[in-house]
Structure 1
């Protein structure tokens, strides 16, 4: 081995000289130690020893010295002599450094690693005695880790933990865990009980009192034989009362406690108490499943034990017969072996218990639901159905139900319990008791009057089923009797008004009463009931109609009409609608035209306040009366009134009927006024177009071709060619049949104009109009929107006319297939074309428009129209032809007139 130089070398002379001059300077010693950091350990230890001998109170030197020595023993055997030298060094350091907790911790950790139990325990105690109380928590942390190691006696650990709890009682949960790990169940249960009894306890581990309580219950039930002195039954029942969300687990824990104690009957009682007291289905499922498993396990154990006892008994009997076959068995031995007297052989009893438990499950579940809400009527009915084969239990269930359910708190209709209870007695032919039940039922203060009325009606129906007709009428008379003034005053003093005082105004009861009286009583008694209903002001339109029908069946027609009159005075629309309809039908069917003025007054009275939605059938009925028994002009006047009174979507159908009747009564020319009125009355655009098409068809049938064409022109302004193809198709067919080249070109020009107008409005319409569905924006709305935006409709039309004028010279060629009919168009289009032809080049090739190319293949019928057809229009035609300057224009080409003004102008021109 290489010898280690312990004496100062030449390099140490400088530090040695400084230390000789000032041997008590910590700075010099520390610089000397740092300068020799690469020296051998033994030499450094000598240097440290000299330093701490000179400065025994230096914490810095001692700490560095001890840390270096601790690092030096790492990896060595615990029996190495250097450990003892290290311990001695710690002891010498603590002589002066006993107030330094860090040195104590280093020393204690070193002793713990050396497994010196006694020396370590005593050192811990010395540290606790030497240090201040404020530093004890640092010592106790490693002290508890030490006593928790394997090999430390349990008694030592218990004493240490008990001392620690005196220092800091809040760590009792750690102590309880240690006790459970050490299987010291008795003290663990006691400590848990103390914690739960301390209302000021705060868990450092974040456990709730509920969790601690469950831990105690689990400990008591799991280690029943190891824990004594605690009343497990009282503790668990206290948890059941306090923690309602864990009732099922606690009941099973209590039963488990008695099972482990061997008290099986007591456990069965606990299970029964549990299933009869839980209030939730979840808790019931937990307790019931544990109960059934308990019964099954006991039954299996008994059956196995019975099998073993039988085998043993057979072996014993075989041995006895072999030894002495003639020996008599003593009486005591026979009693012991007797099967039917042996209490251990109760397999049949336990099997019956298990079957009974399974059969009772629906009943027990019903009890749980009723404990949740004893006023649940539906659950009571379901419970009665469980005992369908046991009338006695059904009666008991109904009795309990009507006694328990409060009508003001009931969920459901509580009167159904009374009715079902009475029907149960009735089904068993006990009508007397059924009447008793009904008598009690009508005295209950229900939440609604209708419930009490149903009970009275059911009672009366029961009497009817048993042929007691007089009794049923007496019941209805008794139920509808109005309470006396004295009773009302007495109830008003009490402040609570029961439903019995409102029963006499129950509509259900009166309807049943009047039906019963109508079938069993006389006409006079029935009329009295109806009049009583009128007096109580609870009449309904249905009752009015029934009353009137009763009087009509008995030939009291005027009285029936008086009932109708009273009905229409009581009710308003829409409830009075069926009364008026029946009244008017009955009156007209009976008197016809005999009392026409009275019928008219009735209709006028009915139409006075009728809303638009209900007006159409009354007006049609009124007009039918005038057609059958009055004057035709009166009927048409009614139709005209109907066109203004009905809803918008029904006006077109009224106009159709109006026109058909006018044509039937006065001929087709009379319908022109109706058509014009319909077009000017403000119908929706789609209905206006339909009406114009019909009007034009009428004029065409009458030979008024120009009038029909004027109608088409008028309607074209509200017909978008992109969507309304039907209108333009009909106009096209009309021009093909009755027009010429000029009129057809005029139709195409108008079509282009309308298309441009709709296209322009489409692109510049406001956003709120653009968001509407196609066809929902009318022409007037679009024009108003354009005017509000500063854009005039005239500008667009003027541009279009300018474009048409520029292209007029190119349309000189006559459309193929058209032959002039000799009728001048009402527009100046024809004159303009003639002037253009005169100035046109004869050699110029004419190009047709797109519309003409599309219609080039149309086969047009050619027919000359004589002047006699036109009548006075012929003069207008010749006058228009003679005017060379074209100053007289029959129609405005570019001015966008309003619908009404345009139609009036065209009509005036034609006339």
Structure 2
């Protein structure tokens, strides 16, 4: 009777698992019934039928535990083999390896881990856990070098942003087993992980890239350093505005310098400079520093043709004063005067208002004793409709004529300059010039007579300047007072030839006055003191006005 009920129950379970083969609980209860009845072979047969449906891990683990309860180690091992093929997850491989360790099969456990690494290494998120378990296994087996190799292999394979636990474990491992060098490597790895996190969150954080690159350069691994450089320069600024590119371009510069100075690879250096120049949008802006560094690199390689080609391209695509200056300096050192002249001509065609360029071009011709060419260049320069620093150019031209002892020409230049501007400094400079300029026509005179004539010409300049400020610019009282001070200094320094009384009658009185000044912030006003000047002719005018007013008052009284 009992057997009849058991057979009936088996028929029911058979029908249930046939109709619902994916319901794991049905299979589990069926197996449990057979095991309770002591039918081990029957339970194993049910398990086999269950496994054909490739159940979840729970089913496989139940089957393994079943075999282990009956001490069927080899059967359990075979089931594990099928299990990791059906579910090749990290947890499955770790369970399999732990099974072998419990049974004292260290070699087989290592083999399981190695196979697991081959299968799972492509899954970056899961691989970290397997590598940590594998390294811990080797550490328990006292295989320190094996564990270290596993950690390093894993760190090379897994992206830094997904290996936080791996880094922590490796640092702890090195602190326990490693030497000073090993600990430093581990700490570098930890910092590498931190930088990876920073650049992952914000790839345009160029400061983080610089720090990361510095770390790799200090570690001395060329391939790693190049890889970080390549990843960094791949993050091009999103907008074509120079302010966004200023930090980015230094990544390229540092990359080129690294290849040249540290790696010693000149061809790669050349490629880096070329790619950098191709990357820059020269139609919007450019970087003279990059052009010059690329040219200087070619000069160090004794490739003058390459350097000239780079600087020529720079002038064609993005001309700048720095590029012209360095190009001219290079050709001048090579004594290529004709090239220098052509470059100055292009420089001035591009920037005709540049007084520095005009002055340097004339200085070049003068150094070659080409006085007429230098003078012609100066004449062209002062004839330009617009100049950025005309005072510098005029001074340079006048000094040039003075150095050539062409005092008449210098005097003519001063007169031409005064036609353009009546600035106080021009008058004073003109007077100082006349006080020391000895005319060629007066060389037969004595030194005393020559000096006397110089002082007379200087007085003439001071008189003209004084008349201008008195009649045309009466408001410039302070400048007029300064002019008179300079005139007195001249008369005093001239000794017996000087006559201070000529100036003393023209000196003004200094008056301390007050005036009301309104502030821009709150609209309130305040009183401030200032110095005013009262010149002799103004005093006479004031006296006449007082007498006239007195006469009118007396007339009204009468």
For Structure 1 versus Structure 2, the TM-score category normalised by the shorter chain is 0.5 to 0.7
Q: Deviations 1:475-530 (Å, cap 9, x if unpaired)?
A: 323443x4xxxxxxxxxxxxxxxxxxx42x33222222111111124212211111
Q: 1:560 to 1:273 in 2, by over 3 A?
A: farther
Give me the whole-angstrom Cα distance separating, in 1, the residues matched to 2:222 and 2:333.
36
Give me the whole-angstrom Cα distance separating, in 2, the residues matched to 1:302 and 1:642.
98
Tell me which residue corresponds to 1:776.
Answer: 530
Tell me which residue corresponds to 1:657.
Answer: 486
Tell me which residue corresponds to 2:189.
Answer: 360
User: What is the CA distance between 1:442 and its match in structure 2?
Assistant: 2.1
Tell me which residue corresponds to 1:900.
Answer: 540
Tell me which residue corresponds to 1:20.
Answer: none
Aligned counterpart in structure 1 of residue 231 of structure 2, from 389, 400, 421: 400
Matched, 1:635 2:439: no
Matched, 1:384 2:213: yes
**Greater Rg over alpha carbons, structure:** 1
For residues 332-371 of structure 1, what are the structure 2 equivalents within 5 Å?
Answer: 339=141, 352=170, 354=172, 355=174, 358-371=187-200
Tell me which residue corresponds to 1:426.
Answer: 260
Q: 1:382 to 1:904 in 2, by over 3 A?
A: same
TM-score by length of 2: 0.54
Aligned counterpart in structure 2 of residue 579 of structure 1, from 377, 386, 393: 393
For residues 205-244 of structure 1, what are the structure 2 equivalents within 5 Å?
Answer: none
CA contact (8 A) 1:375 1:411 kept: no
Tell me which residue corresponds to 2:412.
Answer: 601
Give me the whole-angstrom Cα distance separating, in 2, the residues matched to 1:566 and 1:431.
45
Q: 1:636 to 1:898 in 2, by over 3 A?
A: closer
Q: Deviations 1:663-690 (Å, cap 9, x if unpaired)?
A: 78898996545333333xxxxxxxx24x
User: What is the CA distance between 1:403 and its match in structure 2?
Assistant: 2.5
| DSSP-derived class of the 1:772 partner | strand
Q: Deviations 1:213-237 (Å, cap 9, x if unpaired)?
A: xxxxxxxxxxxxxxxxxxxxxxxxx
Q: Deviations 1:794-830 (Å, cap 9, x if unpaired)?
A: xxxxxxxxxxxxxxxxxxxxxxxxxxxxxxxxxxxxx
User: What is the CA distance between 1:905 and its match in structure 2?
Assistant: 11
Matched, 1:473 2:300: no
Tell me which residue corresponds to 1:844.
Answer: none
Tell me which residue corresponds to 1:548.
Answer: 362
Task: In structure 1, list runs of 5 or more residues that go unmatched.
Answer: 1-257, 277-290, 307-338, 483-501, 680-687, 690-717, 721-761, 781-896, 907-911
Aligned counterpart in structure 2 of residue 557 of structure 1, from 363, 371, 378: 371
Give me the whole-angstrom Cα distance separating, in 2, the residues matched to 1:411 and 1:478.
21
Give me the whole-angstrom Cα distance separating, in 1, the residues matched to 2:147 and 2:526.
87
Give me the whole-angstrom Cα distance separating, in 2, the residues matched to 1:467 and 1:451.
26
User: What is the CA distance between 1:556 and its match in structure 2?
Assistant: 0.6
Give me the whole-angstrom Cα distance separating, in 1, the residues matched to 2:297 and 2:517.
70
CA RMSD of aligned residues (A): 4.9
Give me the whole-angstrom Cα distance separating, in 2, the residues matched to 1:443 and 1:669.
69
| DSSP-derived class of the 1:771 partner | strand
Task: In structure 2, list runs of 5 or more residues that go unmatched.
Answer: 1-90, 99-112, 152-168, 175-184, 441-452, 519-523, 547-558
Give me the whole-angstrom Cα distance separating, in 1, the residues matched to 2:410 and 2:222.
65
Matched, 1:453 2:283: no
For residues 324-339 of structure 1, what are the structure 2 equivalents within 5 Å?
Answer: 339=141
Give me the whole-angstrom Cα distance separating, in 1, the residues matched to 2:404 and 2:432.
15
User: What is the CA distance between 1:660 and its match in structure 2?
Assistant: 4.8
CA contact (8 A) 2:210 2:251 kept: yes
Give me the whole-angstrom Cα distance separating, in 2, the residues matched to 1:464 and 1:423.
15
Tell me which residue corresponds to 1:864.
Answer: none
Give me the whole-angstrom Cα distance separating, in 1, the residues matched to 2:233 and 2:411.
61
Aligned counterpart in structure 1 of residue 248 of structure 2, from 414, 418, 433: 414
Q: Deviations 1:519-575 (Å, cap 9, x if unpaired)?
A: 124212211111121122366222222211111111011211222222223375771
For residues 531-546 of structure 1, what are the structure 2 equivalents within 5 Å?
Answer: 531-537=345-351, 540-546=354-360
Q: 1:548 to 1:371 in 2, by over 3 A?
A: same
Give me the whole-angstrom Cα distance separating, in 1, the residues matched to 2:385 and 2:432.
21
Tell me which residue corresponds to 2:270.
Answer: 435
Give me the whole-angstrom Cα distance separating, in 2, the residues matched to 1:516 and 1:772.
60
Q: How many residues align?
A: 370
